[in-house]
Amino acid sequence: MKVRSPGMDFSKIRPHWARIPEFAQSYNAFSIVPAHIEPYLMKVMRRAKDVLDPKHARLHDDIAVFNKQEMEHCKHHVAFNRALYEAGYEGMKAIEKPYQQDYVRFLKDKSLRFNVAYCEGFEALGCASAQAFFEDLDEYLAGADGEALDLWKWHLAEEFEHREVCYQVYKTLYGNGPFAYLYRVAVFIYAVRHIGSYTGRVQKYLLDVDRASMTEAERQASLEREKVLAKRVAKKSFKRLLAVLSPFYDPGKRKPSPGMQEILDRYDPAANPA
Ligand SMILES: [Fe+2]
Ligand SMILES: [Fe+2]
C-alpha cells in the first residue's frame, strides 16, 4: 500500500464523460460519497487506532496509509464535484448537506463498534465496486473521457488495494464470533441502503436537469437507457455483494482485477519523482 497523489485537473471535465450519459451521471452521483464519507472514515480510523493495542504494529501502519489514501481520494472528488456544480448541477449541494450531517451525527452519537462496522461496510462496497468497474463495465467505459475515467480507476484500484484495513480493524477489536458477524452484516446492509438513498437522489436530480431540456422522444430514450443500466448493474452487483454476507467473507482473499496494478503503477510516486 502506498500514498499516491495524481494531482488531476478537472477544469475541462464534461459531465457527460461517457458515451451513455445516464451512466456518467450515475457515477457523478457516486462522487458525492467520497467527498463526505472519507473524512468520516479517517476520523473513525483515528479513534480505532487510539484503542488498538500497539502490538498490532502492522495494522497501525496500514491505518496511517489508508487515511492518507482516503484524504487524496476526498480532495480529488471534491474538485471533481466542484466542476459538476459549475457545469450547472449546483442543486447537488442541497442533497449532500444532510448526507454530510449524518456522518457528523454518527461520530457524535454512535458507538465505535457501529462506526467501524459502517466503515467496513463501505469498504466492502468499495472493493466490490472496484472489481465491477474493472471487470463488468467495458461497454459503458469504452471511449470515455480520460480525466473522469482515470479518477475512478485510480480511486477504485486503491479501494481494492486497501480493502482489508477496516475489516482487520473490525475483526481485531470485535472478534469473529457469531455476534460480530451478524452485527457486521446488519451494519453493511444499513450502510448500503444509507449511501444508496443519497446517491439515488443525486442521480435523479442530475438526470432531471438533463431531461428538462429534452424532447419527449429523447426523454423516453433516456429513461430506457437508465432502466437497462440499472438492470445490468443490479445483476452484476448481486453476486459480488452476496459474498460480503457470508460468514467466510475475507476481502484479503479477493484477487485484483486485470488493469488495477497498471493504474497504481502509473501514479506510483517512485516511478514519477517530483
Ligand atoms: Fe477512497
Ligand atoms: Fe477506502
For the segment 139-181, what is each residue's pLDDT rounded down to a tens digit?
Answer: 999 999 989 999 999 999 999 999 999 999 999 999 989 999 9
How far does residue 15's CA lie from ligand 1's centre (Å)?
Answer: 21
Q: How far is the CA of 235 from the centre of ligand 2 (A)?
A: 24
Q: Which ligand is nearest to the CA of 72?
A: 1
Question: How close is the Cα of 74 to the center of ligand 1, in Å?
Answer: 7
Q: What pLDDT is attached to residue 238?
A: 84
CA of 69 to the centre of ligand 1 (A): 7
> Considering the chain, what percentage of its residues have pLDDT values greater than 70?
99
Q: Say whether pLDDT at 274 is over 70.
A: no
Whether the per-residue pLDDT at 233 is higher than 90: the answer is no
Ligand located closest to 167 CA: 2
Q: Ligand 1 center to residue 30 CA distance, Å?
A: 12
Looking at residue 260, what is its pLDDT? 96
pTM: 0.95
The grid cell for 117 is 462496522
Q: How confident is the model at residue 272 (pLDDT cuts 50, 70, 90)?
A: low
Residue 271 clears pLDDT 80, i.e. is over it: no
Output the CA 180–ligand 1 centroid distance in Å: 24
* Separation CA 61–CA 237 (nearest Å): 31
**Per residue in 36-56, pLDDT tens?**
999 999 999 999 999 999 999
**Full 3-state SS string of the chain:** CCCCCCCCCCCCCCCCCCCCHHHHHHHHHHCHHHHHHHHHHHHHHHHHHHHCCCCCHHHHHHHHHHHHHHHHHHHHHHHHHHHHHHHHHCCHHHHHHHHHHHHHHHHHHCCHHHHHHHHHHHHHHHHHHHHHHHHCCHHHHCCCCHHHHHHHHHHHHHHHHCCCHHHHHHHHHHCCCHHHHHHHHHHHHHHHHHHHHHHHHHHHHHHHHHHCCCCHHHHHHHHHHHHHHHHHHHHHHHHHHHHHCCCCCCHHHCCCCCCHHHHHHHCCCCCCCC
Q: Which ligand is nearest to the CA of 31?
A: 1
Q: Report the separation in Å between the CA atom of 104 and the middle of ligand 2, taken as the mean of its atom positions.
A: 18
Instruction: Kindly report the average pLDDT of the chain as a whole number.
Output: 95
pLDDT in the model for residue 124: 96
Ligand showing the shortest atom-to-Cα distance for residue 45: 2
Which letter, b or e, does each residue of 251-264 get, where b requires 16 or more Cβ atoms within 10 Å of its Cβ?
beebeebeebeebb
The pLDDT assigned to 273 comes to 60
